[in-house]
Amino acid sequence: MKQLENELAEVKNKIKNIVDAITEGMFHASMKSKMDELEVIKSTLTRRIEEAKRQENINSPTREMIFAYLKKDMDIKDKNPEEQKRIFQTYVKKVVVYDDKIETDTIVSLLGVPDRNRTRISGTGIRYLIH
C-alpha cells in the first residue's frame, strides 16, 4: 500500500505541475493528453489503495480474535509435551538462563509485564515460564 501511496503522490505532483504551467500561460495540446493520462492513473491508484485498505480491514484480526487465539494456549500446564513444545516455539523467541534468573524474549508478555517484548522471570527452572 505504501508503494501505491507513493505513486499516487507522484502522479498528483505531476498533475499539479501541469496545472501550474497552464496557470502561467503555457499550453500545448500534448499537455491535455498527458493530463488525461495522469487522471486515469490517479483514479486507478486511488481505487487500488481503497481496495487494499478494505482488504486490510477484512483480513486484520480483531482484538477478540487475537485473545481467542492466545486463550487456546493458556492451559499449557495441562497439555502434553508435544503441545507444550509447540506453544513455546510459537510464543518464545529466545530464552537466556543465568545463575539467578531466566530472561525470555517473547511475542507476547507471558506475565502481563508491560516491558515491551522482554519478560524477566527469576528462578532456576523452565517451570517458572508456564505459571
- For residue 64, being part of any structural domain is answered with no
What's the DSSP call for residue 60? S
Q: For the segment 45-104, what is each residue's pLDDT rounded down to a tens digit? A: 999 999 988 888 787 777 788 778 788 888 888 889 999 888 888 888 888 999 988 888
Task: Specify whether 39 is located in the same domain as 87.
Answer: no
Q: Which residue has the cell 502434553?
A: 80
Give the cell for residue 122.
527469576
Is the pTM higher than 0.75?
Answer: no
Give the cell for residue 60.
486484520
* Residue-range definition of the domain harbouring residue 10: 2-59
- For residue 66, being part of any structural domain is answered with no
Q: For the segment 21-35, what is each residue's pLDDT rounded down to a tens digit? A: 999 999 888 999 999
User: In terms of Cα–Cα distance, which of 110, 108, 101 is closest to 131?
Assistant: 110
Task: Specify whether 82 is located in the same domain as 121.
Answer: yes
